[in-house]
Amino acid sequence: MFHLLNAGIDWGLAIEKLLLIVVVVSIALGFAMYSTYGERKVAAILQDRLGPNRFGPLGLGQPIADAIKLFFKEEIIPNRANKVLFVMGPALAMMAALMTSAVIPWGDKIIIGGKEVSLQIADVNVGILYIFAVVALGVYGVMIGGWSSNNKFSLLAAIRGASQNISYELAMGLSIIALLFVTGSLSLKDIVVGQQETMWNVVYQPLGFFIFLICAFAETNRTPFDLPEAENELNFGYHQEYSSMKLGFYLFAEYINMFMSSVLMATLYFGGYDIPFFNEAASTLHPNWIALLGFLSLMAKTIAFVFFFMWVRWTIPRFRYDQLMHLGWKTLIPLALFNMLLTAAIMLYLQGR
């Protein structure tokens, strides 16, 4: 063990990254926890009700009560289910939801004791592709959960959900290709820095942003695309056989996905941690303060997007399945292709001038 400790591993870096991972994951979990509360409050406001108001001031203790309820419910594993995969399903869904956070720049660097610490877990130069890989892996949680339950309806719902995710991934990818023409980099950090220097990408890519937004709704299984769990028309979905905290994990993963896609939209199209109308490079503030303000700015944008997700959920009814596929394949993909060609033509024209 001792020679492992001296094995040329940069322990300072390892501890720094580990702390960052713990903080980021805790923020994501806490945010997801309180978005369940936010969801119910937003629904209540839109439907002219009060919403949760029993536990704690303004009902703020409600998520804790929900978590306790889910943990103490009886855990049921169906008799003929594949037990290993049945347990693995929710874990995979959770893992895929949290993995996105690794490449998102949560703020500029901070200085602790003379040491610069970047507020990004990994600045890989294929950041966007990494996010695609993780989004693609999100399908496994759905499919394994649905299949291992050994229930026809779960399996059908899982396949419904998986094909929806795969279909909308394509349009999402095409809309991002157009964004890459503008930014010229796949690293999320570079994309944010580029937006700080010029304008936000949404100005250059309004159509691309719109397509990305629709696809984000479909990827997170939110209304109007929440067919995987349309409990009143189809059936409850791929998590039909799940109970207790396993069901909780599936539902929770949806909220984490919503948080992550909101952060992603803010990062890609709305400047990330850029503070609007404020020149970070020329300011005399301490870098730590700028990092904090930038983080708050990112969170404000994220909360706005999460609110939009909820607003849509309680306003718009869901699509029928054929309408969903029609929209994905015959409307969004041609539109995204058109956007890509248009962007490429304009960029070439500007370069050649």
Partner 1 sequence: MSTTEIIFWFLSALAIFSAIMVITRKNPVFSVLYLIVTFFAISGHYILMNAQFLAIVNIIVYAGAIMVLFLFVLMLMNLNKEGEPRKNRYLLWSGVIAGGMLMIVIIAALQTSKPEIVDSFSKGDIGLIQNLGMALFKEYVVPFEISSILFLSAMVGAVVIGKK
How far apart, in whole angstroms, are the C-alpha atoms of residue 183 and residue 83?
Answer: 46
For residue 186, state whether it binds partner 1 (rule: CB under 8 A): yes
Report which of 135, 127, 263 is spatially closest to residue 183, judged by C-alpha positions. 127
Task: Identify the residue among 125, 283, 315, 323 touching partner 1 (CB under 8 A).
Answer: 125
Which of residues 44 and 156 has its CB atom nearest to partner 1 in the complex?
Answer: 156
Binding mask 73-102 for partner 1 (x = CB under 8 A): ---------x--x-----------------
State the nearest-atom distance from the C-beta of 208 to partner 1, in Å.
20
State the nearest-atom distance from the C-beta of 50 to partner 1, in Å.
44
Q: Binding segment for partner 1 among 121-129, 203-211, 257-265, 341-349 (CB under 8 A)?
A: 121-129
Return the structure tokens found at 328. Answer: 């994905």
Which of residues 82 and 243 has its CB atom nearest to partner 1 in the complex?
Answer: 82
Residues in the chain: 353
Binding mask 145-184 for partner 1 (x = CB under 8 A): --x-------x--xx--x---x------------------
For residue 347, state whether it binds partner 1 (rule: CB under 8 A): no
Give the 3-state secondary structure of residue 169. Answer: helix
DSSP-derived secondary structure for 209-274: HHHHHHHHHHHTT-TTS-GGG-TTTS-S-TTTT--HHHHHHHHHHHHHHHHHHHHHHHHHHS-TTP
Binding mask 6-25 for partner 1 (x = CB under 8 A): -xxxx---------------
Give me the helices (H) in the chain, please: 2-5, 11-46, 62-72, 83-99, 127-148, 152-183, 188-197, 201-204, 206-219, 244-269, 287-313, 321-326, 333-352
For residue 132, state whether it binds partner 1 (rule: CB under 8 A): yes
For residue 129, state whether it binds partner 1 (rule: CB under 8 A): yes
For residue 139, state whether it binds partner 1 (rule: CB under 8 A): yes
For residue 322, state whether it binds partner 1 (rule: CB under 8 A): no
DSSP-derived secondary structure for 310-336: HHHHTTSPPPPHHHHHHIIIIIIHHHH
Report which of 95, 236, 27, 220 is spatially closest to residue 87, judged by C-alpha positions. 95
For residue 137, state whether it binds partner 1 (rule: CB under 8 A): yes
What DSSP designation does 116 have?
Answer: E
User: Which residues would be at the binding site for partner 1 (CB under 8 A)?
Assistant: 4, 7-10, 82, 85, 124-126, 129-130, 132-133, 136-137, 139-140, 143-144, 147, 155, 158-159, 162, 166, 186
